Structure 1
Amino acid sequence: MFKLKYIAAGVTALALTASAAMAEKVLRIQSVLPSTADEVFMLNEFGKDVADLTGGSLTIEVLPAGAVVGPRDIMDAVDAGLVEGGFAWTHYWGGKHVAANLFGAPVAGAGVGMDNIAFLSWFQYGGGKELYDRLWGEMGVNVKGFMLQPVGPEALGWFPKPIESMDDFRQMRFRAPPGMVGAAYAEIGVPAVAMGGGDILPALEKGTIDAAEWCCPKPDSVFGFQKVLKHYYLQGLHQVVVNADMYVNLDFYNGLTDLEKKALEVAANASLSKSMSYRIYENGKALKDLTDNHGVILEDTPADYFTEYMAAAKKSLQAAADENAFFAEVWQSQKDFADIAVPFWAGAQASNASLGKAHADSLK
């Protein structure tokens, strides 16, 4: 009996030691955003799913912007193992490889009308995931990527007065995203200025810029653009699809168990749906608050914006394809997918979009 007690105690101690070792496996993810952002809220939801699926053997700790390195240095930090993971938008790394733009923010829906739902169809069943997995090797970084949060379409932006045509738009210094999206604005003569989200409101208040875009009603209102500008345009082409993703140091990832790797995959797939659902409702509530309580006026985007911007976007896409073989391969995959899926998806949505617009108009 005495021996049995010692054996039982030893087994318990070993179990506790093993459990403690498992619990020490922490994936620290530094975000490019502050902890109050909706994206970080959904990233924490992803972390809860991972912990539940692994029984706590893998936990995720979300670090706010600047905790270890600056936002633009996150990929290098993950690559070097300074932090186990990072979180941003894929197109942030377009300077490392131009094809990152096609995964993070394919300008004007890749020029073929892909919205955020169609993008997910391409990504999950049209060959996009396989190309995404190749991106990191093409980029030359030691990471494993996980697409987590599709957003879109993003609003055209905020203006100090109504714009009746592109001629009006061209008179304004406009905060636009960097990369291909901003380059397309420059191509059509809009003085586009790239800057971080936290810098936009001070720039508007100082008159450094006249108009701006960031994302959508919820995050825009958090930054407080409605304090300075009152004319808001929802319809835009620049970022019909925007995707945020997570990067895990490949050595850390390879050290995970098969179950933990599968948990990351399953939780990432769940996040694609959960984040889209969350953002639609949150943006709807924010838009209602902006128009009901802050004097924001919804405007219709001038027709010539769509023709001019689409032409510039296609020119930019073709130029990148001519210069980079992997970009050309990814874009061709998106175009091949769109040839099959977009006629159905765009046609099927047309009547419901019209009905929804009529309902929205009836609420004014």
Structure 2
Amino acid sequence: MDRRSFFKKAGTAGAGAVAATALAAPAIAQENPKIAWRMTSSFPKSLDTIYGGAEDIAKHVAAATDGNFTIQPFAAGEVVPGLQAVDAVAAGTVEAAHTTSYYFVGKDPAYAFGTAIPFGLNSRLTNAWFYEGNGNKLMNEFYATQGMYALPAGNTGAQMGGWFRKEINTLDDLKGVKMRIAGLAGRIMEKVGVIPQQIAGGDIYPALEKGTIDAAEFVGPYDDLKLGFHKVAKYYYYPGWWEGGPTVHAFFNLEKWSGLPKHYQAALTDACAFANTNMLAKYDMKNPTALKQLVAEGATLRPFSQEIMEACFQAATGIYNEISGTNQYFKKIYEDQTAFKRDAYLWMQLSEYTFDTFMMIQQRAGKL
């Protein structure tokens, strides 16, 4: 090949490379568009563990998309009140929310399953039902009717039964008690004489302090210590049978979600899965220390009696059957979760429960 021919061909190739580069830049821009979302939380920033789930989502989405897809979290009240989070998403006021689905059972009882129903699933089984069972599929069939898509994005683990200003030993002791309690648990407690109150997390302390309410449940030791409930209500009951494994969800406006590039959807899905796992790990790490501090500062631990547990279980079953008679989505989701729960607890009592019980005996004996 002579020099003239060589440089001619090289020049042509170089021009092609320049053209390809020029074409690639806008193509890449189209594949990785700049998108900025707002995510309103139902929680204050002071509750760093549960509010932190929204921050985890934002950080992981930005990192996975080289900063092209950003989500800015806002604490409860900064954009909309905490108990209006899904309304803002459905209306398109914000693109996303980080909240608990059961806050919105007043709109439809089927919302309860997104977080937890009383005497439902523990945290491990909740994840199994959402990810490997029909949980995500069934919930998003329902959420689509509300103009939203949602993904698990946090879990607190089994919660405590709440703070009471007086001892609760019998069913009669519950009669007339004004209690802050969310979701279907409020309806169940109403069946045994409690007067349920729907109050946002940030408003619980002053309500207890002033005597506007007599009792309140929120999450567990770490958050409850931060909020100082032990200073205004001495008795700390367990377990929170209404929240055996409550999930915090990330809700997205359905149109906005559907309009995302597929790889942005994948990045957001992965970010939510991380937030889901990370939140539970944080609570499991922080709750033991917080519980010891609460007791050291005067909190008195009390278990709900078997009488109270059995009465509430029966009330819950009756309410679920009642709602199922008029709500097709509730019935479909309830029957699916119940079928899963029946076999799941059969397995867990065989191995998990036996192992955990043995280890707890060693802990009580001071052998660990």
Query: What TM-score, normalized to structure 1?
Result: 0.88
Counterpart residue number, 2:232 = 228
Q: Equivalent residues in 2 for 1:184-223 (5 A)?
A: 184-223=188-227
Specify the SS of the correspondent of 2:109.
coil
Counterpart residue number, 2:341 = 338
Among candidates 24, 27, 37, match of residue 27 of structure 1: 37
Counterpart residue number, 1:261 = 265
CA contact (8 A) 1:106 1:241 kept: no
1:93 deviates by: 2.4
Among candidates 19, 31, 50, match of residue 39 of structure 1: 50
Counterpart residue number, 1:311 = 314
Instruction: Please identify runs of 4+ aligned residues in structure 1 that moved more than 6 A.
Output: 16-21
Counterpart residue number, 2:88 = 77
CA RMSD for the aligned pairs?
2.7
1:169 deviates by: 3.0
1:90 aligns with 2:101: yes
1:115 aligns with 2:122: yes
Among candidates 309, 329, 333, match of residue 332 of structure 2: 329
1:359 deviates by: 4.8
1:152 deviates by: 2.8
Among candidates 160, 168, 171, match of residue 166 of structure 1: 171
Among candidates 50, 55, 59, match of residue 61 of structure 2: 50
1:144 deviates by: 1.7
Query: What TM-score, normalized to structure 2?
Result: 0.87
Among candidates 151, 154, 160, match of residue 155 of structure 1: 160
Looking at structure 2, the residues matched to 169 and 360 of structure 1 have their Cα atoms a distance apart, in angstroms, of 33
Specify the SS of the correspondent of 2:325.
helix
Instruction: In structure 2, give the amino acid aligned to 1:32.
Output: S
Instruction: In structure 2, give the amino acid aligned to 1:25.
Output: I
Looking at structure 2, the residues matched to 23 and 123 of structure 1 have their Cα atoms a distance apart, in angstroms, of 30
Counterpart residue number, 1:290 = 294
Counterpart residue number, 2:136 = 129
CA contact (8 A) 1:217 1:283 kept: yes
Among candidates 52, 64, 78, match of residue 75 of structure 2: 64
Counterpart residue number, 2:3 = none
CA contact (8 A) 1:165 1:303 kept: no
Instruction: In structure 2, give the amino acid aligned to 1:301.
Output: F
Specify the SS of the correspondent of 1:108.
coil
Higher mean C-alpha deviation, range 82-91 or range 49-58 = 49-58
1:221 deviates by: 1.3
